[in-house]
Amino acid sequence: MNETSGTAAAQPTERIPAAERREQILAAASVVFGERGYSGATTDQVAKAAGISQPYVVRMFGTKEKLFLEVLARALDRLIVGFRQIIAEPREPGDDEVELLAARLGAAYVDLIEDRGILLSLMQAFISGHNPVVGAKARAGFLEIYRMLRDEAGFPPDAIREFLADGMLFNTLLAIRLPDIFDEDPDAEELMRCTFRGKLDVVLGATAAEAAEHA
Amino acid sequence: MNETSGTAAAQPTERIPAAERREQILAAASVVFGERGYSGATTDQVAKAAGISQPYVVRMFGTKEKLFLEVLARALDRLIVGFRQIIAEPREPGDDEVELLAARLGAAYVDLIEDRGILLSLMQAFISGHNPVVGAKARAGFLEIYRMLRDEAGFPPDAIREFLADGMLFNTLLAIRLPDIFDEDPDAEELMRCTFRGKLDVVLGATAAEAAEHA
DNA sequence: GTCTATAGTCCGATAGAC
DNA sequence: GTCTATCGGACTATAGAC
């Protein structure tokens, strides 16, 4: 409340290289698409968040759909590259190799989806199964993660299911903003604690930091 | 392809009681909102699916938002009532009481989200955490399920987490329509099998039935 | 590299007839 | 109980200047 009109735009916008501007737009778009969904988001909201004019956003990406697809591709890429890195890290052999690796991957995942734009862009893709383009990317991305866990990480089926299931529950609880109602309902915190266990501090730290940033 | 224009409407629409018409609209809206999302769906699409005119949809529910909220409330209600029924069923005491009950609830959940409208309406709500009204309903609904599992079903924390996590993975795999690409990618079926295990036949049966219906 | 202006659509909601 | 007609607003994308 009482902000001075939108997200600081107008004024004689600075001229910056297209590549850099592209990144700004993608970052802004990730947030806006995440909050409002593909259909709910407008190119004007993205433009305002990036501090430029609406036609410029369209000019740079061709169409709103292409912009969304690029946002989604980036999110999937960060996820896949991040996981692959962790799997490739040297580990000592032992009985709990799977468990340790799962814990590391889980922690990395929580770190990643602390970025609400990434979290929600992924979830937007998940519920777009009916869309030929977006749906196909979502399916392909999910299967790539599956294969990585099976072939590169060497997880047995049960470990894969558990890992993916936990991830989807993380997604959901963060997406519905459960931490927002810790004050009103103690069960909210209890459920978060039972779900995230050790990782809860990380999540709450991020949430608090984000809140502070927006204040 | 080659369908005779839309979903059978126009013509001198039959006069039916408002209550019955309401149900028709809600059923149609569940499907349309599920496929396109709250923003992506139009009241005209709902109207066509229900076989009536667009203004009549608005007239009956006031606004598009109120219509969506009613769809969501119905979905949550079916879920909660269904679970409560199963929990209340008599069970023999034994060591695996939790496991058995979890299996029954899981089967009921899979049955419920075979209805794509219900599945996707719920997921739409999950990603609307930023929306004050929808977000609040989603949080409240999730917490009610949590309390039910904790207090009425007597699940320990780990069982709750596992149950909820599996449910969210079910949601995701069905939402992205993984069964659609069984032919193109054998890993899709493998992942579904590893996730749904015994329940896979149920899911695939439903998917096949739906496909047949739409053909 | 970036903007202003605006064309062209689509959509939710209202008015009012039957 | 249901429709047709339509208003007013919002949004994507294009045109063209600087």
> What is the mean pLDDT for each group of 10 consecutive residues in chain A (215 residues)?
41 85 98 94 98 98 98 97 95 85 97 95 94 94 98 97 98 97 98 95 82 72
Contact A143 B37 (CB under 8 A): no
3-state SS of chain A?
CCCCCCCCCCCCCCCCCHHHHHHHHHHHHHHHHHHHHHHHCCHHHHHHHHCCCHHHHHHHHCCHHHHHHHHHHHHHHHHHHHHHHHHHCCCCCCCCHHHHHHHHHHHHHHHHHCCHHHHHHHHHHHCCCCCHHHHHHHHHHHHHHHHHHHHHCCCCHHHHHHHHHHHHHHHHHHHCCHHHHCCCCHHHHHHHHHHHHHHHHHHHHHHHHHHHHHC
Q: How far is the CA of B55 from the C1' of C16 (A)?
A: 13
Give the pLDDT confidence score for residue B10 in this predicted structure.
46
SS3 state at B13: coil
In a domain, B36, yes or no: no
Whether residue B42 lies inside any domain: the answer is no
Interacting residues of B138 by C-beta distance below 8 A, sequence separation 6+? A176, B72, B125, B126, B128, B129
Nearest CA distance, A122 vs chain B (angstrom): 10
User: Does B117 fall in a domain?
Assistant: yes
| Residue B22 within a domain | no
Of B37, B180, B190, the CB nearest to A37: B37
pLDDT of A194: 97
Tokens of A212: 């502070």
Selecting from B135, B160, B180 the residue whose C-beta is nearest the C-beta of A194 gives B160
Q: Distance, in angstroms, between A199 CA and closest chain B CA?
A: 14
Domain count across chain A: 1
Closest protein CA to C1' of nucleotide C11, residue: B42
Cβ contact (<8 Å) for A177 and B142?
A: no
Asked if residue B54 is part of any domain, the answer here is: no
With distances taken from each CA to the C1' atom of nucleotide D6, the closest residue turns out to be B55
Which residue segment(s) compose the domain that B151 sits in? 70-176
Whether residues A176 and B40 touch (CB distance < 8 A) is answered with no
Give per-residue pLDDT as tens, B90-136: 888 877 889 999 999 999 999 999 999 999 999 999 999 988 999 99
Residue B215 confidence class, pLDDT cut points 50, 70, 90: low
> How buried is A88 (Cβ within 10 angstroms: 0-12 exposed, 13-18 middle, 19+ buried)?
exposed
What per-residue confidence (pLDDT) applies to A2? 41
Question: Distance (Å) from CA B40 to C1' D3?
Answer: 25
pLDDT at B64 over 50: yes
Q: Do A157 and B194 lie within an 8 Å CB cutoff?
A: yes
Query: Using the beta-carbon criterion (under 8 Å), do B126 and A124 form an inter-chain contact?
Result: no
Report how far residue A127's alpha carbon sits from residue B38's, in angstroms, rounded to the nearest whole number.
Answer: 12
* A151 found inside a domain: yes
Residue B91 lies in a domain: yes
Nucleotides of D under 7 A from a protein CB: 1-6, 10-16
CA distance, residue B93 to nearest chain A CA (Å): 26
Q: What's the pLDDT band for B4 if we cut at 50, 70, 90?
A: very low
In this prediction, residue A215 carries a pLDDT of 61
Among B139, B161, B190, select the one facing A181 at the smallest CB separation. B139
Does residue B63 lie in a domain region? no
